[in-house]
Amino acid sequence: MIIHNARILYGADFELIRGYIKVEDGLISEVGEGSIRGDLDAENCIIIPGLINAHVHILDSVAKESGIGMALEELVRPPYGYKQKILRSTPKEKLVAAACDAVREMMSNGITSFCEFSNDPALSKQANKEAKIYYEPTMVQMDDDVATNKLNPSIVDDVHEHARECDGIGLSGVGEFSDATLEKIADLGLPLALHAAEHIPSQQRSLALTGKTEVERAVKLDPGFLVHVTNPFEDDIGYIVKKSIPIICCPRCNALLGVGVPPIMDFLEKGVLVALGTDNVMLNSPDLFREMEFLSRIISHVHRDPGTISAKDILRMVTLNPARILGMDSGVILEGKQADLLFLRPHRNMSPLGDVVSAIVHRADARNVWRVMCGGRTIYDSSVG
């Protein structure tokens, strides 16, 4: 297939090319400049890599807005958080239907791939079989067990049973498990990721119970990535840098919950690989356009400098960076890469175009999404819906 008459953001630096893309067997075989006859007229759309939502929970989308105003732990901390109560009490067919709606919404927002932390992987897979799914256990330990470093073999067995059918293990946090249990989970040899340092109370609890921060405990497990790290303490970033652990940040959801703004510039300045996720659908729309715009503005506000972070750095956080973190052969328009492509029509909200990447980060939204391809196959067409 030849996609012609396109404006293409090529390579990791998003070089603007006016030309065409050839796709063979789901891969990009050639990107060229100039006019050529083809199979699909892009109608002068801007083609960028498909967006990747690096962290999301889709099963709780059945409860949109119902937990607004609750504190973080009241909302989501297992086993008695509001989210867990909703998931236990809602019929499975309703959970799947709502999750399918969330997946369709992501597609209409230009998202070709996502990584789901799921309490019930079988249900998540019904919503989308192609997603990266990490098993998030609902069995946890109480504070006394964490303080005494008690091993809980039942949790390890549960994780092993469910996670081996998934892409990895995604723990709700280190605060819900003793170091002994965490070490056994890590010894299972499956890809591991953890929420860590999302808010200050969880960091303080970890120090009180174990003498170590959540981040310090997490990095000892050599995880593939950490989620949030919104509130690292004094030495935490150093622990992360030493082990070259990527971080997935969810700034809009953090802001909604009032837990702070992740120190993303500190991460970037120290060479940490950063990606963005939208987190719980029950709280936050799965929309990476909104995530990018919010991040750009909140960083400028925090640092009192509109030039603190570049639009290209932010766009990489939803394309190339998450692909690298999650081991995906996409996230960039280059020969040999998977043809995950997002076609954008720059309507009046983006036009007249100045800096194309800045316009995507600060102005684009679902109205601009014309077509979305995954592996060269159209998964969303705005004319069809």
Nearest to residue 74, comparing CAs of 61, 62, 92, 86? Answer: 86
Q: How far apart are CA 385 and CA 257, in angstroms?
A: 32
Handedness of CA 8, 329, 106, 54 (dihedral sign): negative
| The domains spanning 2-49+331-381 and 51-326 adopt the same CATH topology | no
Where does 51-326 sit in CATH, by number?
A: 3.20.20.140
Structure confidence by residue, pLDDT tens digits, 1-20? 999 999 999 999 999 999 99
Query: What pLDDT band is residue 385 in, cutting at 50, 70 and 90?
Result: low
* Residue 231: pLDDT over 70: yes
Query: What pLDDT band is residue 80 in, cutting at 50, 70 and 90?
Result: confident
Is 0.95 topped by the overall pTM?
yes
* Residue 369: pLDDT over 90: yes
Beta carbons of 211 and 178 less than 8 angstroms apart: no
Burial of 204 (0-12, 13-18, 19+ CB in 10 A): middle
* Residue 79: pLDDT over 90: no
Q: How far apart are CA 192 and CA 214, in angstroms?
A: 15
Residue whose structure tokens are 């959801």: 253
Q: Which CATH architecture has domain 2-49+331-381?
A: Roll (2.30)
Structure confidence by residue, pLDDT tens digits, 60-72? 999 999 888 899 9
Tell me what pLDDT residue 67 has.
85
- As a whole number, the mean pLDDT across the chain is 96
What proportion of the chain, given as a percentage, has pLDDT over 70?
100
Domain residues of the chain, as ranges?
Answer: 2-49+331-381, 51-326
What average pLDDT score do residues 257-267 get? 97
What average pLDDT score do residues 309-313 get? 98
Two tokens at 99? 């999750």
What average pLDDT score do residues 265-280 get? 98
In the DSSP assignment, the letter for residue 61 is G
* Residue 82: pLDDT over 80: yes
Region of 211 on the Ramachandran plot (φ > 0 left; ψ -120 to 50 alpha; else beta): left
* Residue 198: pLDDT over 80: yes
Structure confidence by residue, pLDDT tens digits, 22-58? 999 999 999 999 999 999 999 999 999 999 999 999 9
Structure confidence by residue, pLDDT tens digits, 132-169? 999 999 999 999 999 999 999 999 999 999 999 999 99
Burial of 298 (0-12, 13-18, 19+ CB in 10 A): middle
Amino acid identity of 101?
D
